[in-house]
Every structure is written in C-alpha cells, then in structure tokens.
Structure 1
Amino acid sequence: MTASAAAEGAPQRVEAGTSEWRLVLGRLRRKRLAMISLVIISVIYGAGILAPLLAPYPPTQTNLDRPVEGPSRDHLLGTDRLGRDELSRAMYSSRTTLIVTTAVVLSGGLVIGNTLGLLAGYRGGWVDTLIMRVGDVFSSLPSLVMLILINATLGPRVIGWTRWVEGHTPFDGLVASGFPSYMLVFSALSLFFWAGTARVIRSQVLQLRERDYIMAAESLGASPRRVILQHLLPNVSFLIILSLSATLGSIAGSEIVLTWFGVGVQPPAASFGAMLFEGSGTRTFQASPHLLLVPGVIVTLLLFAFALLGDALNDAIRGR
C-alpha cells in the first residue's frame, strides 16, 4: 500500500466507525432490559434536573410540627426527622448524584483517562511506563478507604481555602452552597477512576499505531497531535463509551457511600447517602420504614439500571 492510498483510506475508517455506531444503537434498541434501564436512569436523573420546577417543597424546608410522617396527601413519600419532604429531597439527591457523576466522567474519564491512554499508547517508551505505573499505584490502593481518608483529611482545609476565596473575591456563599464538598468529592473520585479508562484506551492504541494508515499519515508529515485527534481518537470512541459506561454505577455508588460515612457531599446539599444514613438502624426502620425505603429503592434501581445498561452496551458493541 502506498502512502497516498493509506492516507486516503483514513477518513473511510471514520465513516465506517459512524456506520458501526448505527449498528450498535440498533442492537441496543432491541434489548428490552437495556431500554428499561435507560428509562429508569432517565426518569431518576430527569427528576433531578427538573427538581427546581417539579419538587413540591425546597429540600431544606423544615416543619418541626410534622416530623417523621408517613406518606400523606401533603407529602407523598413522607417526611424526615426535621419535617423535610422526602420526595423533594430524593429529587435533589438525584441531582447531586448526577452532578458528581458527570463531573467525574468528564474530568477523570474523558479528560485524564482518555488523554493519558492515548498518550501512553502512541508515545510508548518511558512515557507509557510512567503513566501505567502511576495508574497501577492508584488501582492497587483500596479506593473506598483512600477516598474516605482523603475527604476526611482535606475536607476542613478545602473549606478553609474556600472561605479565603470568599473573603478576597466577589464569590459569596460558596461554603453555604456546599461547593467545597462537591469539589472534594469529584476531585477525589477522579483520582481513582481514570486508570481503568487509560489502560483500555492504551491497549487499543498500541494495536492501531501499527496500522498502515497511521504509518502513512506519519510518513506524510502529520504531527503526533493530528494523528491522535484525527486517526486514533475516532477509532477508540467505542472503547471510551464502553469504559465510561462500566464506571457510571461505581461512581454514583462511591458518592453515596462517601456521604453515608459523612465525608461526601455535605449539608445543605441533599444526597442519597445522607438519606440512607438517616433511615438506617433497626428501630428507625421499624418505626419509620419510609426513611430507608425511599432512598434505598431509588438507589437500587439506579445502580442496577447502570449495571444492566453497561452489560447491554458491551454486548451490542461486541455484536452479540
């Protein structure tokens, strides 16, 4: 194959990738469990997005005259110990999970994991070794324990830095809005969720960089940046989506667990972890089962939906 012929063949791979995407989506639409899972995720996260419009009460509005009430006409899913509406808190909790999950996927997966995976696979040598060894270190650590330690240790410092920013800039109300805990949670999660994506992308790039069309582009003087962005990135997009879809449930679950331990998203922000903690305990469940059932059912549905959708997407990409 000549260099010019190979260079002309490169765009065809992108077009083939586009048609392959259509095949994948067609296979995915034929999987009933995948569609049901997608509907569940869309409803839960859609309620979070529209919470300011749909929630019957503000999530922090208390009513000490009506604490720990069961479902009623005024409060469809009951109230908690402070008289806060459980339905409103659940909707805003899904909003919190959506914000954290999206931030971690964009920062840890797409930006860090994807970039380092492409760089390690294409450059090779000491660059590849360094990136992969750092990734191995993070992968070998007990992520949940490390996340708890990081958040517990750095939490007060981040709040202190945020107060300093409030005092020296026009940005007021950052601490009151829960901004420090958001930043800490998705920054800590990003540290532990980039390595898997980077490893998957790297393994595919190692194979692609030996293809004729890549070598032809290099022989024609294409810069490494152009080779990566125009020839490699379009052909690993499947793996990027597959890798990220496999981690969505883990990211959402990690945020909830961190908050349950008290080192995740902090009040006044609503979180499923906080709701689960408030409803935990045998006596609490016997007296007010809705405190645990409301967040528990939603979280279970969300995590199962992510798992089923990830498996279905994996099968669709592999042609099953």
Structure 2
Amino acid sequence: MLMFREEEIRAGVKLDDQALEAVETAFRTLATGNVSQPPVARVDIPEENGEADIKTAYIEGFDGFAVKVSTGFFNNETYGLPSLGGLMMLFSTKTGQPKALLQDNGYLTDVRTGLAGAVAAKHLAPANVKTAGVLGTGMQARMQIEALQLVRSFEQVLVYGRRQEKAEAYQKEMEEKLGCPVKVVTTMEEVVKGSEVVVTTTPATAPYLKPEWLHSNLHITAVGSDAPDKQELEVGVFEKADIAACDVWAQSKQMGEGRAALEAGVLHEDTPLRELGAIIAGLESTRSNESAITVCDLTGTGVQDTAIAMHAYQALKKSEE
C-alpha cells in the first residue's frame, strides 16, 4: 500500500480541467452506469461541535474505490486548527486489497466539493456571468469561486461574511488568486441581487437566502447543508426556480436543502429535484434561456470521493515514476 501525505497531495492535485473532468464523469456515470453508493454514515460529537461523515462508492470501470472519512470540528479555531479534516483509503476493485492511503487532511474533499460546484455551474449557470457572489468566507467560499473560473469567466466577486475581518482577508487573498476585483458587501441580499451566480457555503442551521431576492438570469449552488439540522435556502427558493437540481435526491431529501422543502410540501416524492448526473447525461433538461432561475443542492457524494481519489492516485504515482 502506498502512502501519500498532505504536502505531496496538495502539490500533485489542483483545481484544474483534468480534475474537473474526473468529477463530471463520476456524476454522469452515476446516472448512466453501474454504481454502488451506500447512504452516508454520520457520527456527531455535539460536545465539541463536531461531526464525521463516511462516504464510499464503486464506479463500474474504475480499478479502485475510495472510503473517505471527513471530519468537521467547528470549535477548532480556538485550538489553532482547521475546522475540516479527514483522509481517504483507496482499495482495488479486483482484489479488495488497499492500494493507497491518502492522508490529505480533508484537502481532496475540499477540491472535489469545489469541482462539483463548477460542474453544476457548467450545466446550469447563465453562459454570460459578470458577477459571482459568495456567502461565507471559509475554505469552500474560496474553492467554489476558484473552481468556477474553470467554467465561467466573470469580472468581479461579491462576498458577504458575518465577520468583517474574515471578509477582508478573503478579499485580499482572492483578488490575488483570481486576478479580478473582490468587493466586501454588508448584506447577503446585496450579494444575491448583484450576481448571476451565487454560492452558499455556510454551516447554517436556519435558512437565510430569501426567495424575494431572486432575479432572472441567476444560478444558485448551495453546498452548506450536509446534515439534517442544516439549511441555507428558504423553501420558497424552490418554488421560484425554473430548474431545481441536486447531486443525489436520496441524500438531498435526508440531509440537504430538499429535506426542508419536502417537509414544507414545496417538493414532493413524485416531483423530486433533478439529479446533476442526469442533466449532464442529457436525461433531464437544463437551462434553456438566459433569464431562467436555477438552483442546485450539493450534499457531497461517494462517487466524487472515488473519482478524486483515483485522480490523485494516478497523478501521484506518475510523479514518482
């Protein structure tokens, strides 16, 4: 079994077109191929404001499958540690033997989540984007906007964060990384109304994005809700959307934005959210005009983990040759 540490994984795996293609292919295969993807196993550690998710999937044609443990301990800032962590193990689909331990400390999860947002925007966002908006200032606020540049050209970014100093730090860092202006705004409403693509990246447990802020020529990707107690979008957002999608409906209705909308009667079991893989494969319709409002709920899937783990394994093995 090969072992790769965080430093070499970060050096070998980037937010680039090759990684984007790996994640997009995984979503397409989820809709069209033979995939075995069990439900997410979750462990909560409430006294430390912590959680751990275990995800895995087999994708037909891949010679490996990943088992990923992802942790989120949101008191870690007080210890001088990042909130997110974890690792992945890659196993052979032929023998079941372990092929590699990827000690990425959550980096690969960050990458594949950012790329999933880019895949959603590629197939659902307006073709012409002048302003990208982001709610939140953490790691996914960075990853999502950086990955968005792979599929859409935009001229500026609007960012809202609850803490001014974090929003200003985000502004400085991302202006250097993106090569375009980043403006800190004082309300979430200003972000939504002023952008063509908006990404929500918070661990909120009470919805805050209001349907009255929505406008034509808008796409929203929600990535924060990955547990039954989380929610970023008010359920009326789905009523106003022309196209409402998700990564996996079975997960969205249990732990994503689809859960609250289903409970409120805005969504129904016989009219579920469209799955991203089916949209990519052409089995479900996508944006038909620039004036549409589209929404995509991303809860994170095992196929993404297997896809990014295989991509990392191949890239890192090649670099060692």
TM (normalized to structure 1)? 0.25
Instruction: Indicate the structure with greater helix content.
Output: 1
Instruction: Say which structure is richer in strand.
Output: 2
Instruction: Tell me which of the two structures has the higher relative contact order, counting C-alpha pairs closer than 8 angstroms and 6 or more residues apart.
Output: 1
> Between Structure 1 and Structure 2, whose CA radius of gyration is higher?
1
